[in-house]
């Protein structure tokens, strides 16, 4: 989980091996190079590249994909209250009854927008 004001590149493996199941977080100035390696028999394996959950492009064994951040920031329209990220984070991290979920009207810590 990242705060909404933290610039980052996030790579999320889909259907990964057990040891590679968490998203990978990179700085926005990083260049990430990925090489497709299919296990034997390659003829029975299949891989696709999906960006932002959209169109899936088939990739082959040995293909390389590179991506990097952009100097142009993205702008998004807000459709929920300003503190929605923090209010929704508490229930996700809550263990037992020690934490009380925040109301959507509670101000965000540090004035995050």
42-89, pLDDT tens digit by residue? 777 888 888 877 888 999 999 999 988 887 877 777 787 877 777 777
Distance CA 54, CA 33 (A): 20
Alpha helices in 39-113 (DSSP H): 84-93
Looking at the 3D structure of the chain, how many domains does it have?
1
Q: Which residues span the domain enclosing 55?
A: 9-68
Question: Is 14 inside a domain boundary?
Answer: yes
pTM of the model as a whole: 0.55
Average pLDDT, the chain: 78
> According to the model, what pLDDT value does residue 22 have?
82
- Other CB atoms closer than 10 Å to residue 108's CB: what's the count? 18
In this model, does residue 16 exceed pLDDT 90?
A: no
Question: Is 90 inside a domain boundary?
Answer: no
Q: pLDDT over 90 for what percent of the chain? A: 15
């Amino acid at each position: 989980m990242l705060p909404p004001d933290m610039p980052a590149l996030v790579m999320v493996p889909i259907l990964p091996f057990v040891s590679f199941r968490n998203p990978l977080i990179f700085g926005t100035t990083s260049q990430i190079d990925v090489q497709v390696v299919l296990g034997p028999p390659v003829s029975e394996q299949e891989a696709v590249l999906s960006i932002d959950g959209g169109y899936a492009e088939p990739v082959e064994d040995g293909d390389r994909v590179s991506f990097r951040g952009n100097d142009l920031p993205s702008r998004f329209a807000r459709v929920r209250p300003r503190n929605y990220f923090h209010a929704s984070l508490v229930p996700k991290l809550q263990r037992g009854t020690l934490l009380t979920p925040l109301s959507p009207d509670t101000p965000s810590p540090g004035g995050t927008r």
